[in-house]
A and B are shown apart, each in its own frame.
Chain A
Amino acid sequence: MRYRVRHSTHYRYSARVTSCYNLAYVLPRDTRRQKCLSSRVSVSPQPAITRTRSDYFGNQAYHFEIQRPHRELVISVESEIRVSHPDQGLNLDLGISYEQAVQQIRKDRSQQALNAREYLLDSPMIAASEELAQYAHQSFAPDKSLRSCVADLTSRIFSDFTYDPDFTTIATPLAEVLEHRRGVCQDFAHLQIGCLRAVGIPAKYVSGYIETLPAPGEEKLVGADATHAWIAYYCPDEGWVEFDPTNDTPAHTQHIVTAFGRDYFDVTPVKGVIFGGGDHPQLSVSVDVARLEEAAP
């Protein structure tokens, strides 16, 4: 599947900003199942300096520095991405068992396995807790396939938790999300990552977009798509496998990856420091994911 993603982030400040320094994760990376064919970012006002580099996690980090006074900042990205189906099997009952997986992860000296162990540890926004372990526990049976355990956890989060954009903010701790069973995709991703790490399965955060399809007979609205977040867990024989707890599904062709990280902190779409700007900046984001015709072979 080929997509064109337009993603624009618009800040309006109550007072003049004299300069700003930013780091954005808005350029889609390549992954095992996707290839970024092109991407172009434009920032207004014109930055003094821009640079793209590949970061620790292999993501595309986009830096810019603005030295002109401004009251509005717009970051627009247009990318073209080809996404293919995950190559992992869909049969939940096949594959390595949970117990074997945990043991192998501990023993395996391969580069990939050693690297994966980083994702068992606490990260800036996700700390291990008794509560997370408890919640996770009932989905994991030693002899069940790892994949079906994770699928079960995904479904439970989907049905136990209410999607509620007004309940949480970026600063809401995971414990509160767990207690009140409410949140948005980020919270659910963090929650599932915390659960997986608690039961010994490496898990990482996936930041990206999801194509939303209009209800039958309705016209798709431009800009109605959104940035999205889901997870990937490490399976010794399959590598990283993505699941989306907000939609209770394995990631498929409608999931377009921007960046991987330990959690949201590592891949915040736009962060930085401004001088000036006053209080209460307004932020609006619009995302448009459009399917493109496959180029003729």
Chain B
Amino acid sequence: MNQSQSINQTPVGTPAGPLEYPSSPGVLDETRGADGALKPGWDYLLDSIGNLGAEVMRQREQKARRILRDDGASYNIYGKPGSASNSWELDPVPHVISSEDWSGIETGLVERSELFNLILRDLYGPRDLIRHGALPPEALYSHGGFLRACQGMQMPGEHELILHAVDMVRQADGTMCILSDRTQVPSGAGYVLENRTVMSRVFPSLYRDSHVHRIANFYQRLRLKLTSLAPSGDIPRIALLTPGAHNETYFEHAYLANYMGFSLVQSGDLVVRNGFLWMKSLDGLKRVEVLLRRVDDEFCDPVELRPDSQLGVPGLLEIVRNGRLVVANPLGSGVLENAILLKYLPKIATQLLGRELRLATVKTFWAGDDADFEHITRDFDNLIIKRAWRAAGQASVYGGDLDDNQKQALLADIHRHRYHYVAQPRLAKPCIPAFNGTALEPRANLLRTFSVATDSSYTVLPGGLTRIATSTEGQFISMQEGSPSKDTWITASEPERVLQADLDEDQPRSLPETQADSLPSRVVENLYWMGRYAERAEASMRLLRTVFVLLNGEEPISPEAQRILLQTVSQATYTLPGFTAATPEQLANPEPELLQIVRDGKRSGSVRSTIESMLRAAEESKESLSTDTIRVINDLRDALDNLDADLVGGLASAPEEALDPLVTALAGLSGLTQESMIRSVGWRFMDMGKRIERSLQTIATVKGLLSSVGGEMDQSVLLTAMLTSMEALMTYRRRGRERHGMELGLELVLLDRSNPRSLIFQLERLEEHLQELPTSDPAAGELDEEARALLEATSTLKLTRLPHLLQTSGSTRPEVNALMTQLAGLLREFSRFISDKHFDHRSGPQQLFTTIRGVR
């Protein structure tokens, strides 16, 4: 959180001059060969970084952090939502692999992907591997990733396995050893892209001079492959199915979808109808032909797979079977993550490829095999014990870390469920240099690579996601534990020859019209609510600031005026009953309640909770927001984090200033959406949300402040409060030379077309939006319900005579009260009609009740 502090402070003990990466005896270090000399690639990099020095590196690291933050790069750590630790960590020293070295790895990876593709095809097809004895039946049939419902399903084209990720470590002899495969929903390729984007901006000349292989081609290949899978043969709509914003890698779902031009969708955005898959957009259902999914196999279809899943689409499997939809990776591909396969890989490769694999795989023992079981029992302390099928909450453990009781318990469980356990030796992860803020230090590393199917073979992303331990001593690497990442540079001694065709491919291709024009209606609904919450927060804060100033002002205000002010706050912020049910003592001492209204996130209607709602809506519609907008949203999040600190003095010390950063950020957001957001349907709904909310806020404020009549002094305080909170005080004073009083005030706030905060201004903008909605039919005769409600509101307001409105009856102004109540009702109706018509509020699916039980 205090990143900004370290920019300016030079930590004590920073060595001046070049950065060194001394060789550490006894440490397995990837940068040096057997002779102790730096390997090709590393020599140039470490020399360049050394010359930059610690100070420059620190600045570059800060710059990288800022870019990551502005891009909203995050990795959600479960159990810590919204914590500061969910920012994506990127170490500024890249992981370098020479292109000579890489070409061997690449060949091995292509071969491995080809093999895994054949395994997948066989396991859901003839199962020759079992028939011919390469794989014991239990190795497959006991595995939870083997989905019997997927038997016989086939992808169009040569390959079943579209994306394949592989985790590996380098061994002492310099060769790679593969630890595991990711085939279900391989993650990380989006982070690789983000890391590369950041590194090439932060180290432009180093990046250029290092002749780094470019990675854009990989993503282009993926898009081409997915496009080629389309059942119709046309340019398909491709959607990326995400479990949602809470998912750990949601950032990359949104990032990849945007980069590749895919629609980012969640379960509720999709529907199977008449045997096809559709995305619900504002202008109707759009057919989806290819689904790149980030939802795990068993959650994809509650009809045939996990019945309680809310993340999938009912009926999905059946339309895939019928060739109406292609899902990548195919459903059931989690079976390849079965760690038991690793034990039998040499036999399998021999059967399917006719040879063993080039790249080594970690030695794997399966408890289901008698000899292996024996070995596991004997050598328990030196083995990592894993489940063959990873389920949530079942991490692998190192035998040597367990105490006797734990060990006995685990051994007993292995004995009971022998088919479910595998064990592997713990391989030492070699170190590569990382920057710790002052110096370069060795850190253990793990590399994840990515392959994508092409027409005839696989293309490997030249690079990958390198992850490192959090300290020099650590060997444990897990994103969930906050391990930092690195960009991986495949460097050539010569600049890479770039073909013109590749250059063309590099440009983010303009999207086909059909893809770009429609967002899922969920996204549009979130934009609408983002507009509403942003406006509500801003209006609440303007009112609160006004009230703070008046309460703390030089001139004391009467208890009556104070009551009216405070009750208006409760009404306008929707924190009822609040001050409307307060005792005279509470009204005289409003500080605790006012502070709650500002900062109590658990209180619905508080400034904090409203902004949090807005941020959630923003998160759900992230892919349709510009980078600048995301930056402002990040500022807002920071300002919210600092709110408590800023309010520490309570109301005594200028609390209105504590709100300033938030008001400024919200105003910035409002400006950006106005000035730089494309006038799409999404923008229109966001602006409608804003206009509706501003209208309702204005109405609540006018009603609260002006419905009752007090003494002359009070009148002036309340009028000032109204005008200040709506930013109309200056205009009032200027015009007040000719006229003044309530009438002028109300005219400015309600009826003045030239005031962008007036009620009539909002209503007229809403009318314009209504004309432009995709469903509007200018030729239609009878007005729709929403148009009717809006027209009634507008006409009623326009026909209002101010003197009549201001008539008093005793201590009240009944006409103000009545008109405001009527207008608020009409606007709420309008909002409801809009929402019913355009947003999808179908309740979630439920399981068909099945209890069909026989008799004897």
Q: Which residues of B contact A185 (CB under 8 A)?
A: 853-856
Chain B residue nearest in CB terms to A261: B148
Chain A residue nearest in CB terms to B151: A56
* A246 → chain B closest CB, angstroms: 5
How far apart sit A173 and B322, CA to CA, in the bound complex (Å)?
Answer: 36
The residues in A between 259 and 287 inclusive whose CB is less than 8 angstroms from any CB of B are 266, 268-277, 281, 283, 285
The answer to whether B83 has its CB under 8 Å from any CB of chain A is: no
- A81-89, A116-124, A148-156 - interface stretch: A116-124
Question: In the complex, are the beta carbons of A165 and B314 less than 8 A apart?
Answer: no
The answer to whether B769 has its CB under 8 Å from any CB of chain A is: no
Which of B131, B141, B274, B843 lies in contact with A275, CB distance below 8 A?
Answer: B843
The answer to whether B142 has its CB under 8 Å from any CB of chain A is: yes
The answer to whether A38 has its CB under 8 Å from any CB of chain B is: no
The answer to whether A253 has its CB under 8 Å from any CB of chain B is: no
How far apart sit A128 and B413, CA to CA, in the bound complex (Å)?
Answer: 13
How far apart sit A272 and B272, CA to CA, in the bound complex (Å)?
Answer: 13
The residues in B between 257 and 276 inclusive whose CB is less than 8 angstroms from any CB of A are 271-275
- B302-310, B712-720, B830-838 - interface stretch: B302-310
Q: Which residues of B contact A6 (CB under 8 A)?
A: none
Question: In the complex, are the beta carbons of B842 and A18 less than 8 A apart?
Answer: yes
Q: A22-B303, A109-B133 are in contact. Are A121 and B850 (CB under 8 A)?
A: no
Question: In the complex, are the beta carbons of A246 and B303 less than 8 A apart?
Answer: no
Q: Which residues of B contact A186 (CB under 8 A)?
A: 853-854
Q: Which residues of B contact A275 (CB under 8 A)?
A: 842-846
The answer to whether A21 has its CB under 8 Å from any CB of chain B is: yes
How far apart sit A266 and B304, CA to CA, in the bound complex (Å)?
Answer: 9
Q: Which residues of B contact A246 (CB under 8 A)?
A: 854, 856
Chain A residue nearest in CB terms to B309: A273
The answer to whether A49 has its CB under 8 Å from any CB of chain B is: yes
Q: Which residues of B contact A23 (CB under 8 A)?
A: 303-304, 318
The answer to whether A138 has its CB under 8 Å from any CB of chain B is: no
Which of B137, B303, B850 lies in contact with A118, CB distance below 8 A?
Answer: B137
Which of B149, B273, B315, B846 lies in contact with A277, CB distance below 8 A?
Answer: B846
Q: A22-B848, A283-B852 are in contact. Are A273 and B303 (CB under 8 A)?
A: yes
Question: In the complex, are the beta carbons of A117 and B138 less than 8 A apart?
Answer: yes
21 CB < 8 A contacts A-B = A11-B848, A18-B842, A22-B303, A48-B273, A48-B275, A53-B321, A57-B148, A65-B273, A65-B318, A114-B131, A117-B137, A185-B855, A186-B853, A186-B854, A229-B854, A270-B850, A273-B846, A273-B848, A274-B848, A275-B845, A285-B852
Question: In the complex, are the beta carbons of A56 and B850 less than 8 A apart?
Answer: no
How far apart sit A11 and B142, CA to CA, in the bound complex (Å)?
Answer: 35
B residues bordering A, Cβ < 8 Å? 130-131, 133, 137-138, 141-142, 148-149, 151, 271-275, 302-304, 307, 314-315, 318, 321-322, 416, 419, 842-856
Q: A65-B275, A117-B137 are in contact. Are A270 and B852 (CB under 8 A)?
A: yes
How far apart sit A284 and B314, CA to CA, in the bound complex (Å)?
Answer: 24
Q: Which residues of A contact B273 (CB under 8 A)?
A: 19, 48, 65, 67
Q: A121-B138, A273-B302 are in contact. Are A283 and B855 (CB under 8 A)?
A: no
How far apart sit A184 and B856, CA to CA, in the bound complex (Å)?
Answer: 8
Q: Which residues of B contact A274 (CB under 8 A)?
A: 845-848
Question: In the complex, are the beta carbons of A65 and B141 less than 8 A apart?
Answer: no
The answer to whether A228 has its CB under 8 Å from any CB of chain B is: yes
How far apart sit A228 and B130, CA to CA, in the bound complex (Å)?
Answer: 33
Q: Mark A205-218, 1 if CB is under 8 A from B, else 0.
A: 00000101000000
How far apart sit A11 and B314, CA to CA, in the bound complex (Å)?
Answer: 19
Q: Mark A11-42, 1 if CB is under 8 A from B, else 0.
A: 10000001111110000000000000000000
A residues bordering B, Cβ < 8 Å? 9, 11, 18-23, 48-49, 51, 53, 55-57, 63, 65, 67, 109, 111, 114-115, 117-118, 120-122, 128, 163, 165, 169-170, 184-186, 210, 212, 226-229, 246-247, 266, 268-277, 281, 283, 285
Q: Which residues of A contact B854 (CB under 8 A)?
A: 184-186, 210, 226-229, 246
Chain B residue nearest in CB terms to A130: B416
Q: Which residues of B contact A118 (CB under 8 A)?
A: 137, 141
Nearest 7 Cβ contacts at the A-B interface:
A21-B315, A273-B314, A56-B148, A56-B151, A118-B141, A226-B855, A228-B854
Q: Which residues of B contact A169 (CB under 8 A)?
A: 851
Give the interface centre of B138, B302, B416, B851 by most chain A CB atoms within 10 Å. B851
Which of B304, B314, B849, B852 lies in contact with A269, CB distance below 8 A?
Answer: B852
How far apart sit A163 and B141, CA to CA, in the bound complex (Å)?
Answer: 33
Q: A117-B137, A117-B138 are in contact. Are A49 and B847 (CB under 8 A)?
A: no
How far apart sit A49 and B321, CA to CA, in the bound complex (Å)?
Answer: 14
Chain B residue nearest in CB terms to A169: B851
Q: Which residues of A contact B302 (CB under 8 A)?
A: 273
Q: Which residues of B contact A55 (CB under 8 A)?
A: 148-149, 151
Which of A21, A227, A228, A266 lies in contact with B303, CB distance below 8 A?
Answer: A21
Q: Which residues of A contact B275 (CB under 8 A)?
A: 48-49, 65
Chain B residue nearest in CB terms to A111: B131
* B381 → chain A closest CB, angstroms: 28
Which of B133, B142, B842, B855 lies in contact with A228, CB distance below 8 A?
Answer: B855
Question: In the complex, are the beta carbons of A20 and B848 less than 8 A apart?
Answer: yes
Q: A63-B318, A114-B137, A115-B137 are in contact. Are A272 and B852 (CB under 8 A)?
A: no
How far apart sit A115 and B274, CA to CA, in the bound complex (Å)?
Answer: 36
Question: In the complex, are the beta carbons of A65 and B272 less than 8 A apart?
Answer: yes
Which of A20, A49, A121, A165 lies in contact with B853, CB distance below 8 A?
Answer: A165
Question: In the complex, are the beta carbons of A170 and B842 less than 8 A apart?
Answer: no
* B120 → chain A closest CB, angstroms: 16
Q: Which residues of B contact A276 (CB under 8 A)?
A: 842-843
Chain A residue nearest in CB terms to B152: A56
Question: In the complex, are the beta carbons of A283 and B849 less than 8 A apart?
Answer: yes
How far apart sit A57 and B149, CA to CA, in the bound complex (Å)?
Answer: 10
Question: In the complex, are the beta carbons of A49 and B855 less than 8 A apart?
Answer: no
How far apart sit A57 and B151, CA to CA, in the bound complex (Å)?
Answer: 10
Question: In the complex, are the beta carbons of A121 and B142 less than 8 A apart?
Answer: yes
Q: Which residues of A contact B133 (CB under 8 A)?
A: 109
How far apart sit A20 and B138, CA to CA, in the bound complex (Å)?
Answer: 36
* B260 → chain A closest CB, angstroms: 29
* B318 → chain A closest CB, angstroms: 5
Which of A21, A51, A272, A285 lies in contact with B322, CB distance below 8 A?
Answer: A51
* A211 → chain B closest CB, angstroms: 12
How far apart sit A268 and B854, CA to CA, in the bound complex (Å)?
Answer: 12
Which of B130, B131, B303 lies in contact with A271, CB distance below 8 A?
Answer: B303
Give the interface centre of B133, B307, B848 by most chain A CB atoms within 10 Å. B848
How far apart sit A277 and B842, CA to CA, in the bound complex (Å)?
Answer: 12
How far apart sit A110 and B757, CA to CA, in the bound complex (Å)?
Answer: 82
Q: Which residues of B contact A228 (CB under 8 A)?
A: 854-855
Question: In the complex, are the beta carbons of B848 and A49 less than 8 A apart?
Answer: no
Chain B residue nearest in CB terms to A7: B852
How far apart sit A293 and B304, CA to CA, in the bound complex (Å)?
Answer: 39
Q: Which residues of A contact B853 (CB under 8 A)?
A: 165, 170, 184-186, 227
* B140 → chain A closest CB, angstroms: 8
Question: In the complex, are the beta carbons of A165 and B855 less than 8 A apart?
Answer: yes
Q: A21-B272, A226-B854, A274-B846 are in contact. Are A121 and B419 (CB under 8 A)?
A: yes
How far apart sit A247 and B151, CA to CA, in the bound complex (Å)?
Answer: 34
How far apart sit A63 and B133, CA to CA, in the bound complex (Å)?
Answer: 35
Chain A residue nearest in CB terms to B124: A56
Chain A residue nearest in CB terms to B273: A67
Q: Which residues of A contact B318 (CB under 8 A)?
A: 21, 23, 51, 63, 65
How far apart sit A165 and B853, CA to CA, in the bound complex (Å)?
Answer: 8
Chain A residue nearest in CB terms to B847: A273
